[in-house]
Protein backbone atom coordinates (compact mmCIF):
# COMPACT_ATOMS: atom_id res chain seq x y z
CA UNK A 1 0.00 0.00 0.00
CA UNK A 2 2.86 2.41 0.56
CA UNK A 3 3.25 3.64 -2.98
CA UNK A 4 4.81 7.02 -3.65
CA UNK A 5 1.55 8.44 -4.99
CA UNK A 6 -0.45 7.34 -1.96
CA UNK A 7 2.17 8.56 0.48
CA UNK A 8 2.26 11.96 -1.20
CA UNK A 9 -1.49 12.37 -1.33
CA UNK A 10 -2.37 10.90 2.06
CA UNK A 11 -1.38 13.88 4.28
CA UNK A 12 -3.43 16.31 2.17
CA UNK A 13 -6.33 13.87 1.97
CA UNK A 14 -6.29 13.32 5.74
CA UNK A 15 -6.16 17.05 6.42
CA UNK A 16 -9.09 17.60 4.08
CA UNK A 17 -11.08 14.81 5.71
CA UNK A 18 -10.53 16.18 9.20
CA UNK A 19 -11.63 19.62 8.00
CA UNK A 20 -14.70 18.12 6.36
CA UNK A 21 -15.49 16.13 9.50
CA UNK A 22 -15.56 19.36 11.52
CA UNK A 23 -17.87 20.90 8.93
CA UNK A 24 -20.20 17.89 9.20
CA UNK A 25 -20.05 18.08 12.99
CA UNK A 26 -21.06 21.75 13.12
CA UNK A 27 -23.68 21.40 10.43
CA UNK A 28 -25.31 18.63 12.43
CA UNK A 29 -27.48 20.78 14.65
CA UNK A 30 -30.10 21.77 12.10
CA UNK A 31 -29.34 19.62 9.10
CA UNK A 32 -28.18 16.06 8.47
CA UNK A 33 -24.74 15.49 9.98
CA UNK A 34 -23.53 15.45 13.54
CA UNK A 35 -20.97 14.12 15.95
CA UNK A 36 -21.10 10.45 15.13
CA UNK A 37 -20.74 10.71 11.37
CA UNK A 38 -18.18 13.49 11.74
CA UNK A 39 -16.20 11.36 14.14
CA UNK A 40 -16.27 8.44 11.74
CA UNK A 41 -14.90 10.64 8.94
CA UNK A 42 -12.11 11.89 11.19
CA UNK A 43 -11.32 8.36 12.36
CA UNK A 44 -11.05 7.19 8.75
CA UNK A 45 -8.70 10.11 8.11
CA UNK A 46 -6.47 8.75 10.87
CA UNK A 47 -6.76 5.27 9.41
CA UNK A 48 -5.75 6.44 5.91
CA UNK A 49 -2.82 8.38 7.30
CA UNK A 50 -1.81 5.29 9.24
CA UNK A 51 -1.94 3.05 6.16
CA UNK A 52 0.18 5.47 4.16
CA UNK A 53 2.75 6.70 6.66
CA UNK A 54 2.73 4.11 9.44
CA UNK A 55 0.99 3.99 12.78
CA UNK A 56 3.89 5.57 14.65
CA UNK A 57 3.59 8.83 12.72
CA UNK A 58 -0.16 8.97 13.38
CA UNK A 59 0.44 8.56 17.09
CA UNK A 60 3.04 11.33 16.91
CA UNK A 61 0.64 13.56 14.99
CA UNK A 62 -2.29 13.29 17.42
CA UNK A 63 0.05 13.68 20.44
CA UNK A 64 -2.27 12.09 23.03
CA UNK A 65 -3.42 8.48 23.05
CA UNK A 66 -6.73 7.98 21.18
CA UNK A 67 -8.37 6.48 24.28
CA UNK A 68 -7.61 9.68 26.19
CA UNK A 69 -9.37 11.61 23.41
CA UNK A 70 -12.36 9.32 23.88
CA UNK A 71 -12.21 9.87 27.64
CA UNK A 72 -12.20 13.63 27.19
CA UNK A 73 -15.15 13.38 24.81
CA UNK A 74 -17.12 11.33 27.32
CA UNK A 75 -16.22 13.85 30.00
CA UNK A 76 -17.54 16.93 28.19
CA UNK A 77 -20.58 15.02 26.88
CA UNK A 78 -21.52 14.11 30.45
CA UNK A 79 -20.83 17.65 31.67
CA UNK A 80 -23.02 19.15 28.94
CA UNK A 81 -26.09 17.74 30.71
CA UNK A 82 -25.32 19.49 33.99
CA UNK A 83 -25.93 23.25 33.40
CA UNK A 84 -29.70 22.76 33.52
CA UNK A 85 -29.31 21.83 37.21
CA UNK A 86 -28.81 25.53 37.96
CA UNK A 87 -31.97 26.52 36.07
CA UNK A 88 -34.11 23.98 37.95
CA UNK A 89 -34.72 21.93 34.84
CA UNK A 90 -34.16 18.22 34.27
CA UNK A 91 -30.93 16.58 33.16
CA UNK A 92 -29.83 17.30 29.60
CA UNK A 93 -32.27 20.19 29.04
CA UNK A 94 -30.58 22.30 26.40
CA UNK A 95 -29.23 25.72 27.35
CA UNK A 96 -28.48 28.45 24.82
CA UNK A 97 -26.11 31.35 24.78
CA UNK A 98 -26.83 33.76 21.93
CA UNK A 99 -24.83 36.85 21.14
CA UNK A 100 -23.66 38.96 18.25
CA UNK A 101 -20.07 38.62 17.17
CA UNK A 102 -19.09 41.24 14.55
CA UNK A 103 -22.72 41.44 13.39
CA UNK A 104 -23.06 37.68 13.03
CA UNK A 105 -25.61 35.80 15.12
CA UNK A 106 -23.80 33.16 17.14
CA UNK A 107 -25.77 30.54 19.06
CA UNK A 108 -23.72 28.41 21.43
CA UNK A 109 -25.55 25.60 23.17
CA UNK A 110 -25.10 22.55 25.35
CA UNK A 111 -26.23 20.20 22.52
CA UNK A 112 -23.23 21.50 20.58
CA UNK A 113 -20.94 20.59 23.48
CA UNK A 114 -22.58 17.18 23.65
CA UNK A 115 -22.09 16.71 19.92
CA UNK A 116 -18.41 17.63 20.17
CA UNK A 117 -18.12 15.09 22.98
CA UNK A 118 -19.67 12.39 20.79
CA UNK A 119 -17.31 13.37 17.98
CA UNK A 120 -14.28 12.96 20.23
CA UNK A 121 -15.53 9.64 21.65
CA UNK A 122 -15.97 8.25 18.15
CA UNK A 123 -12.63 9.57 16.92
CA UNK A 124 -10.87 8.10 19.95
CA UNK A 125 -12.59 4.73 20.11
CA UNK A 126 -12.78 3.89 16.41
CA UNK A 127 -9.36 5.47 15.81
CA UNK A 128 -7.71 3.32 18.45
CA UNK A 129 -9.35 0.15 17.07
CA UNK A 130 -8.20 1.05 13.55
CA UNK A 131 -4.67 1.83 14.70
CA UNK A 132 -4.52 -1.40 16.71
CA UNK A 133 -5.51 -3.42 13.65
CA UNK A 134 -2.99 -1.63 11.42
CA UNK A 135 -0.22 -2.05 13.96
CA UNK A 136 -0.70 -5.83 14.03
CA UNK A 137 -0.68 -6.01 10.25
CA UNK A 138 2.69 -4.36 9.88
CA UNK A 139 4.37 -6.52 12.54
Residues that bind other proteins (CB under 8 A): 29-32, 36, 65, 67-68, 70-75, 78-79, 81-82, 84-85, 88-94, 96, 98, 105, 107, 109, 125-126, 129, 132-133, 136
Q: Which is nearer to other proteins, 16 or 23 (CB)?
A: 23
Q: How far is the CB of 43 from other proteins (least distance, A)?
A: 10
Distance CA 74, CA 22 (A): 18
Q: What is the dihedral of CA 12, 18, 22, 25, to 10 degrees?
A: 140
Closest CA to 51 of 11, 2, 123, 124: 2
Element spanning 98, H or E: strand 96-101
Query: Minimum Å distance from CB 27 to other proteins?
Result: 12
Q: Which is nearer to other proteins, 20 or 109 (CB)?
A: 109
Least distance (Å) between residue 136 CB and other proteins: 7
- Quote the CA–CA distance of 117 and 38 in Å, as a whole number: 11
Smallest separation (angstroms) from other proteins to the CB of 76 = 8
43/124 Cα distance (integer angstroms): 8
| Nearer to other proteins among residue 5 and residue 104 (C-beta) | 104
Amino acid sequence: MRTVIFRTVAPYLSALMVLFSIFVLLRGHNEPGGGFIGGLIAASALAIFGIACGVASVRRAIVVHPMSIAGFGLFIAALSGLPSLFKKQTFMTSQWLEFKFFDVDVALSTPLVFDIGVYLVVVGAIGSIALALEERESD
